[in-house]
Amino acid sequence: MARVYNFSAGPSALPEAVLKQASAEMLDWRGSGMSVMEMSHRGKHFSTIATELEADLRALMGIPDNYKVLFLQGGATGQFSFIPLNLLQGKTKACYVNTGAWSVKASGDAAKYCEVILSANSESSKFTTIPDLNAWQLDSEAAYLHYTANETIHGVEFQEVPNVGGLPLICDMSSNILSRQIDVSKFGLIYAGTQKNMGPAGVTVVIVREDLLGKADPSLPDVFNYVVQAKNDSMLNTPATYNWYLVGLVLKWLQGEGGIAAIEQKNIHKATTLYKAIDSSSLYTNPVNVNYRSRMNIPFVLKDAELDKVFLQDAEKQGFMELKGHRSVGGMRASIYNAMPIEGVQALIDFMAEFERTH
């Protein structure tokens, strides 16, 4: 069976070249006579994989030397709690910006450990925009400010890094990390689940500035303590070794594609082309403020909701999978992460145009 175009929001499509390499190395990694999933995480072979993984991520993102890079478990959702427990540093307040479902979850979990200051909230717009930065309410006594760079459900994305003065900036980049160039030095901490742009589910990357470490809540278990994990090279317990390996393959694939600068231009082209097709249509619409439209997750609704089921059925028959929107917002959603080729986006556009013509 031919491979389909997978528009899933996550776990998402992986580069075909990565899957082929993993398949070729399944029984024997680099002449070791073992599959990576059989290796000891303390052995020399996996040590090579782990060293290359961190080095490649540092090179791709330009991560400064004064940042620790951790590869953890528990997903980005786990970090909603681990961040305040690691970074409050004796303070009692933290600022949060709510621009969609995931930032709401993050602020909700943080409220269990501190007073949450809602610096901005776009719920009144049904999360179709981002409040103007000039109107944000910042508290100088807060430990940090947290925001979600890209909301996968609502299709809203920050196009620039917000300037919040002296507050350490904490960012959930789960759905747009490696898709655009960023200056890591502007952040106190970046975290991301890998199942969108970096690999399969099961690994969470945390990039944290060293000066923020060392004052974790005493009740925090060691496995969730950034300092302890950093001292143990993210191997306090047995890590998700095969997933680390797959993330490493994705990073090498991205290097081969020309790095983040090159993939960003492809992402801009893909998103611009799809939004243009939606905006010029009389059947499809996108509800998001044009200044904050996501390059990664593009929601759209049909003028006649009665056609939703037919659209999805016809799309699957043509090999376009996972286009159903999140149950909380309905409609459709095309997630076009790094691994989605331009040809896939154009094929979807052609299908949408034909569906509109016939309906």
CATH assignment at residue 94: 3.40.640.10
pLDDT tens-digit map of 171-193: 999 999 999 999 999 999 999 99
Catalytic residue among 29, 56, 172, 324: 172
2, part of any domain: no
- Looking at the predicted structure, is the pLDDT value of residue 321 above 80? yes
95, part of any domain: yes
Distance CA 223, CA 212 (A): 18
Beta-sheet strands, E only, within 99-232? 115-121, 145-148, 150-151, 156-157, 169-172, 189-193, 204-209
Q: Which of 256, 272, 295 is the last residue of a domain?
A: 256
Active site residue 29: no
pLDDT tens-digit map of 112-143: 999 999 999 999 999 999 999 999 999 999 99
Distance CA 202, CA 184 (A): 23
Active site residue 132: no
pTM (2 d.p.):
0.97
Catalytic residue among 29, 102, 244, 253: 102
Q: Which of 219, 236, 256 is the last residue of a domain?
A: 256
Active site residue 196: yes
351, part of any domain: yes
CATH of the domain at 273: 3.90.1150.10
Range of the domain at 346: 258-358
Whether 211 and 269 map to the same domain: the answer is no
- Looking at the predicted structure, is the pLDDT value of residue 68 above 70? yes
Residue 285 — pLDDT band, cuts 50, 70, 90?
A: very high
Whether 195 and 331 map to the same domain: the answer is no
How confident is the model over 327-338, as a mean pLDDT?
94
60, part of any domain: yes
Residue 40: what residue type? S
Distance CA 42, CA 249 (A): 20
Q: Which of 256, 279, 309 is the last residue of a domain?
A: 256
How confident is the model over 301-316, as a mean pLDDT?
96
Q: How many domains does the chain have?
A: 2
- Looking at the predicted structure, is the pLDDT value of residue 52 above 90? yes
Instruction: Determine how β-strand 115-121 pairs with β-strand 145-148.
Output: unpaired
pLDDT tens-digit map of 135-144: 999 999 999 9
315, part of any domain: yes
